[in-house]
């Protein structure tokens, strides 16, 4: 541990195991070139190195946020001399007379040439009924109290976009506490938490006893909620089974079956307006959105919150053809699963990926009462990273 202890601080709260070591460094115009013990060469821009130094004048020692402003760095800055010191740290002597020293674990984690090695979330798996006959299920109290069990629950929620916690109390406050283990609950026009029961003066089709076709919530919001949780208090009415499908799987099927329809759905904006007395949210976006690498970012799947399409006549025909094909994929029983929530079950899903619905129920035969709330998707990503960080810290027994 002697070598580790003399390594410089990093500008982060995380720990950075030294898996690869720099073996050589040289100055280049506007930068520094470093060679690593696995042969990788990485180049760092002088501004990049200077503004990410961990010394307390550059990085606030308490907040770890930058104190040095980019414009405080002379435009003419160059690295005058560089070397790898005995601890394996990169040392840079600047043209200004200052020096900076970089932790090799941190430097490797953030170098562009190997950035993908660090801190990525596990890959997602798209599913239909053949791939998962049931939702991933976890014991609720374990998942909320044990870090490893919590990691397993949240990893499933990320990978499959759906997971259930079982055996929680069937009491109304659970919806306000259990999802908050991930991050803050996001209030909406439906409130902080909302009750899914049949109401006479329903503000949404969800608050009736009718069949709810597969859909996502609140596509009318630019910031459509990322995670939805539904906690079951009662479910003894005849009917009311929950339906779930993977919107990313369905979008992938559309891409394979009809590339032109897929192009339509990823490029032509669809309009979503809510219908309510007190709110008038509007958002226009292609129904399927891709990440820069072509993977799926979001599917905004709420058939009945589409506003009258704002498109030329010919485009409307193209959009309707693609929409009908996409919706028909969700009608195929092979592409959906059906579960009946039990009192105490907490169903969570990615509302921008998984679509949900329910069969109609008969309020005369019993009660059906779910309580719901929303949490943002990036709270899940943050929580998974923090759990991984804590696991690394526990393994290494040291910080930085």
Of residues 381 through 400, those in contact with a second copy by CB under 8 A are: 381-382, 385-386, 389
Among positions 76-135, residues that touch a second copy (CB under 8 A) are 110, 112, 115, 119
Listed in order, strand segments (DSSP E) in 90-241 are 90-94, 99-102, 137-139, 162-166, 194-196, 212-215, 227-235, 238-239
Residue ranges in 41-60 that form contacts with a second copy under rule CB under 8 A: 43-45, 47-48, 52, 60
How near is the Cβ of 342 to a second copy at its closest, in Å?
28
Q: Which of 104, 213, 240, 372 binds a second copy (CB under 8 A)?
A: 213
Which helix (H) or strand (E) covers residue 2, if one does?
A: helix 2-5
Cα–Cα distance for residue pair 244/356, rounded to 1 Å: 5
Check binding of 16 to a second copy (CB under 8 A): no
Judged by CB under 8 A, the number of residues near a second copy is 86
Least distance CB 314 / a second copy (angstroms): 9
Contact (CB, 8 A) for 200 and 173: no
Q: Residue 131 or residue 257: which is nearer to a second copy going by CB?
A: 257
319 or 341: CB nearest a second copy = 319
Beta-bridge mates of residue 244: 337, 356
> Which of residues 129 and 388 has its CB atom nearest to a second copy in the complex?
388
| Site residues (CB under 8 A) for a second copy, limited to 228-267 | none
Which residues within the stretch 329-358 sit at the binding site for a second copy (CB under 8 A)?
331
226 within 8 A of 316, measured Cβ to Cβ: no
CA–CA distance, 299 with 194 (Å, rounded to integer)? 23
Q: At what angle do helices 259-267 and 313-331 cross, to 10 degrees?
A: 110
Piece of the chain touching a second copy by CB under 8 A; list 1-9, 147-155, 187-195, 260-268: 187-195
Q: What are 58's two structure tokens? A: 């550059």
Q: From the CA atom positions of the chain, what is the Rg in Å? A: 26
In the window 260-319, what residues touch a second copy (CB under 8 A)?
A: 269, 275-283, 292, 303-313, 316-317
| Alpha carbon distances (Å) from 261 to 252, 266, 271, 317, 324 | 12, 9, 17, 11, 10
Whole-Å CA distances, 114 to 12, 250, 396: 18, 33, 22
In what helix (H) or strand (E) does residue 256 lie, and over which residues does it extend?
helix 247-257
On the 0-12 / 13-18 / 19+ scale of CB atoms within 10 A, 349 is buried
For the CB of residue 344, give the shortest distance to a second copy in the complex, in Å. 26
Strand, helix or coil for residue 40:
coil
Residue among 204, 242, 264, 351 that touches a second copy (CB under 8 A):
204
12 binds a second copy (CB under 8 A): yes
Query: Whose Cβ is closer to a second copy: residue 167's or residue 285's?
Result: 285
Q: Does 71 help bind a second copy (rule: CB under 8 A)?
A: yes
Contact between residue 124 and residue 364 where contact means Cβ atoms under 8 Å apart: no
Binding window for a second copy (CB under 8 A); candidates: 16-24, 216-224, 260-268, 358-366: 216-224
Binding residue for a second copy, selected from 78, 151, 203, 396, defined by CB under 8 A: 203
**What's the chain's length in residues?**
400
Q: Which is nearer to a second copy, 108 or 369 (by Cβ)?
A: 108
Shortest CB 273 distance to a second copy, Å: 8
187 is a site residue for a second copy (CB under 8 A): yes
173 makes contact with a second copy (CB under 8 A): no
Q: Taking the complex as a whole, how short is the minimal distance between the CB of residue 174 and a second copy, in angstroms?
A: 18
Rounded to a whole number of angstroms, the minimum distance from the CB of residue 305 to a second copy is: 7
Shortest Cβ 309–a second copy spacing (Å): 6
């Amino acid at each position: 541990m002697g070598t580790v202890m003399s390594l410089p601080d990093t500008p982060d709260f995380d720990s950075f195991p030294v898996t690869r070591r720099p073996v050589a460094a040289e100055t280049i115009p506007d930068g520094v070139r470093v060679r690593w013990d696995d042969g990788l060469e990485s180049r760092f821009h002088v501004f990049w190195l200077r503004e990410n130094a961990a010394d307390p004048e550059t990085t606030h020692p308490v907040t770890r946020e930058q104190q040095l402003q980019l414009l405080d760095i002379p435009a003419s800055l160059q690295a005058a001399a560089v070397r790898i010191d005995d601890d394996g740290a990169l040392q840079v002597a600047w043209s200004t007379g200052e020096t900076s020293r970089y932790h090799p674990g941190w430097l490797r984690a953030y170098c562009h040439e190997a950035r993908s090695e660090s801190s990525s979330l596990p890959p997602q798996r798209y599913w239909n009924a053949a791939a998962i006959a049931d939702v991933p299920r976890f014991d609720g109290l374990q998942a909320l109290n044990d870090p490893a069990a919590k990691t397993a629950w949240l990893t499933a929620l990320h990978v499959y976009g759906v997971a259930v916690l079982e055996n929680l109390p069937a009491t109304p406050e659970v919806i306000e506490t259990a999802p908050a283990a991930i991050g803050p609950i996001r209030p909406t026009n439906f409130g902080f938490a909302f009750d899914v029961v049949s109401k006479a003066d329903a503000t949404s089709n969800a608050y009736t006893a009718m069949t709810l076709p597969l859909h996502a919530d609140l596509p009318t919001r630019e910031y459509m909620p990322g995670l939805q949780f539904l906690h079951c208090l009662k479910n003894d009415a005849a009917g009311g089974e929950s339906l779930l499908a993977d919107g990313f799987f369905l979008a992938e099927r559309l891409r394979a079956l009809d590339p032109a329809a897929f192009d339509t759905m990823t490029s032509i904006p669809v309009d979503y307006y809510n219908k309510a007395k007190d709110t008038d949210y509007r958002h226009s976006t292609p129904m399927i959105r891709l990440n820069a690498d072509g993977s799926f970012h979001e599917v905004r799947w709420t058939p009945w919150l589409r506003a009258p399409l704002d498109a030329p006549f010919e485009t409307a025909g193209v959009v309707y053809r693609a929409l009908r094909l996409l919706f028909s994929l969700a009608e195929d029983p092979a592409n959906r699963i059906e579960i009946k929530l039990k009192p105490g079950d907490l169903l969570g899903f990615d509302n921008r990926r998984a679509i949900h619905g329910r069969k109609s129920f008969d309020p005369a035969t019993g009660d059906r009462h779910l309580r719901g709330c929303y949490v943002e998707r990036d709270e899940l990503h943050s929580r998974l990273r923090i759990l991984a960080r804590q696991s690394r810290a526990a393994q290494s027994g040291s910080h930085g």
